[in-house]
Every structure is written in structure tokens, then in C-alpha cells.
Structure 1
Amino acid sequence: MARTTGSHSDITGPRVRAAALKLFARSGYAAVSMRAIAAEVGVQAGALYNYTPDKQTLLFDLMQSHMEALLAQMPAGAGDPMVDLEDFVAFHLRFHADRPDEVFIAYMELRNLTPENFARIEALRRTYEDRLERILRAGQAAGVFRISDSKIVALAIIAMLTGVNTWFRIGGRLSLDEVVAQYWDMVRSAVGAGTLPR
């Protein structure tokens, strides 16, 4: 299929993904048509197929890009469970704070992935969860964390941290630094490490 006159794949492709991200987050994947995405970009509906084979591929690409960026920027770890846990908490909150649409789609639209695409995204999510679980197990072994099931605690911490995106807004009552500090206190208590003076 010929490319639409005046379009450029390096410009229009990112615009297609940005439009899909916005519309999926606002209206939900199922309610958004390729025609609506095309209208948001300002191209004919048929032109979208120069940049993506279908809507499912767009959804998968958005989720995969989000997870790959998350994993690529995740702290490597210092080898001290307390430091590593604090770094994980701060990283998760700061990484997601300015990506509310990506977070919404990554968690709420999993059900709309094909089984194959779901398995691929779940594998990336497990890699991230496993990083936190390894920190928790190291803290258990060192006697600094008092937890009984590192998997459940890891999932609970991630759910708590991700929930910040439902209410936090830049410029709101609390700064991001204040939110990070308060959530670190809560996570530290959740793993039985108590609240330490700053």
C-alpha cells in the first residue's frame, strides 16, 4: 500500500502510537476504532495500516514499550536489601508519576490482549516482580525484613505503589518527593523494618 502523500513514517508512526495511547486510556481499548485513531492523528483510516497491521498490535506495542523502558531503567541494586528496597520504591514512583496513561493501559487492558501477546507481557511483568522479590528474600535472609511470603509481599507493594497514579498529580498538595518519602515509610513498615529517623 502506498504511503499517504506528505506523511513520514518516523513522524506519523509515533503520532499513531501517541494517539492510540491517549484514546485507549480515555475510552478503553474496546471502544476505540482505528477510524478514531486516524482522526486523532489527522490521516485517513486506511493510512494507519502503513504503520501498524491492526489495533491489537498497537495495544501490544504500547504495553511492550512501557515494560521494556521500565526494565531498562530499573536500578541494578547495591547489594544492601534496605537500600535496594528504598531505591526500588523511589524508582517505581518516579518512573510512573508522569506516565498515567501508560500505567492505566498496562494494568487495565491486559484482558484485551491475545493469549500470545498476554504471555509476552506477563513475562516482562514477572521479570520486574522477580527483581523486587529477590530484594525481599535477601532482606529475609539478612534478618532485616520480617515477612512470611515474599511473593505476596512483592505483589502487594507493587499494587500499592502503582495505585499512586490514580490520585497523584504534579502540582498537587504533595510534591513527588513527599509522596516518595511517605510511601517509603509505609513499605518499610510493611516489610517489618519499622520507621527509621531521617
Structure 2
Amino acid sequence: MARTAGSHSDITGPRINDAALHLFARHGYAAVSMRQIAGEVGVQAGALYNYTPDKQSLLFTLMKDHLEQLLAARRTAETPSGAMAQLEAFTRFHIRFHLERPDEMFIAYMELRNLTPENFEVIGVLRGQYEDELEGILRTGVTEGVFSIPDTKVATLAVIGMLNGVTTWYRAGGRLSLDQVETIYWDMVRKAMAA
């Protein structure tokens, strides 16, 4: 099949992903058609299939790429000693990383129901790696006697859910600086976990 005039695979492929990302985040995966994605990119709907087999593959790729970038960034992040310092570092990291990627974060957490079982399993493993890191910090804190948590798995999901909420309301240049927001959220997380 001939490529649309002016189309270049190294440009059009990423533009398709960007368009899908923004449309899925704005309207929801189920409400977005391949024709809408093509229109956003400025190509014929049939041209999309030169870059992706289907809409499900686009969703899976967006989620997988986001989670792989998240895990890679965590591997290079500073790891202080002691569970309290590690929890603070994790809290601040999570907020900063996701504020730069609100659409990716929204899709990674809100569109799981639209994945095929096979894709859900892959994404679940990646999410599990990130959640396991936080749960490990919480377990260490319980062992150290600095946290009092009846169920570390529930606490892990609660902390991540709370931190994810920042992306829905925070705007640069608003009443609070990012540093202030991080400090407020860290104080809430610390108090919720403290022994």
C-alpha cells in the first residue's frame, strides 16, 4: 500500500501515538475511533494500519511505554537509606514524574478495563513491579517500627491513588508551587503511615 504523500514513518508513527494518547485521555478509549485518530494526524484512516494493527495495539503500546519509562526512571532515582526517607523520595518522584505525563498516567490507570486479557497480564506485571517497590518500602518501615500499617498492599494502592490525583488539579503558576504541593502530599502520606 502506498504511503500518503508527505508521510514519513519516523514522523507519522509517533504522531499517531500522540494523537491516540490525547484522544483516549480526553474522550476515553471506547469512544475514540481509528477514523478520529487518523483525522487528528491528517492521514487517511487506512494509512493507520501501516503503523499499528488496531486500536487495541495502540492502547497497549501507550500503556507499556509509559510503565517502562516509569520503571526506568525509578531505577536511576536516588535511593536514600531508611524507610521514611525512601517513602518521601518515592512520594516526590511519583508526583513529579506523573505531572509531566498526565495523559499517560490517566490512561495507564483508567483504561485497564479495555485491555484484552493477554495485554492486561503484561501491563499487570509492569504495574506490579512499581507497586511492589512501594510495598517493599512500607514493609521495611513496619519492620523498622516507623510505620504502623495493618495491610501494606491496601496502603500501597491508597498512596498511589492519592498521589495520582495531583495530576487532575495541579497547574503550574497556580496558588501553590510544585515544591509546596509535594511537601503537603508528603506530610499526608507520612502521617497516614507513621507509627
TM category, shorter:
over 0.9
SS for the counterpart of 2:64 is: helix
Correspondence for 1:38: 38
Matches of 2:173 and 2:120 in 1, distance apart? 35
Correspondence for 1:183: 185
Identity of aligned residues (%): 67
**Residue pairs, 1:139-150, within 5 angstroms:** 139-150=141-152
Match 1:166 to one of 164, 168, 180: 168
Matches of 1:52 and 1:151 in 2, distance apart? 36
Matches of 2:30 and 2:154 in 1, distance apart? 31
Matches of 1:89 and 1:119 in 2, distance apart? 26
Answer yes or no: is 1:16 the counterpart of 2:29.
Answer: no
- The one-letter code matched in structure 2 to 1:79 is S
- The one-letter code matched in structure 2 to 1:136 is L
Correspondence for 2:64: 64
RMSD: 1.2
Structure 1 segments of 4+ aligned residues over 3 angstroms from their partners: none
What's the offset of the Cα at 1:79? 3.3
- The one-letter code matched in structure 1 to 2:35 is R
What's the offset of the Cα at 1:92? 0.2
**Deviation digits for residues 109-136 of structure 1 (CA, Å, limit 9, x no counterpart):** 1111101101111111111000001001
Matches of 1:65 and 1:23 in 2, distance apart? 17
Matches of 2:168 and 2:33 in 1, distance apart? 25
**Deviation digits for residues 120-158 of structure 1 (CA, Å, limit 9, x no counterpart):** 111111110000010011111111112221111111111
What's the offset of the Cα at 1:78? 2.7
What's the offset of the Cα at 1:99? 1.4
**Deviation digits for residues 158-192 of structure 1 (CA, Å, limit 9, x no counterpart):** 11101111211122221111100000000100111
When normalised by structure 1's length, the TM-score is 0.94
**Residue pairs, 1:1-198, within 5 angstroms:** 1-74=1-74, 75=77, 77-192=79-194
- The one-letter code matched in structure 2 to 1:28 is G
Structure 2 portions without partners, runs of 5+:
none
- The one-letter code matched in structure 1 to 2:135 is E
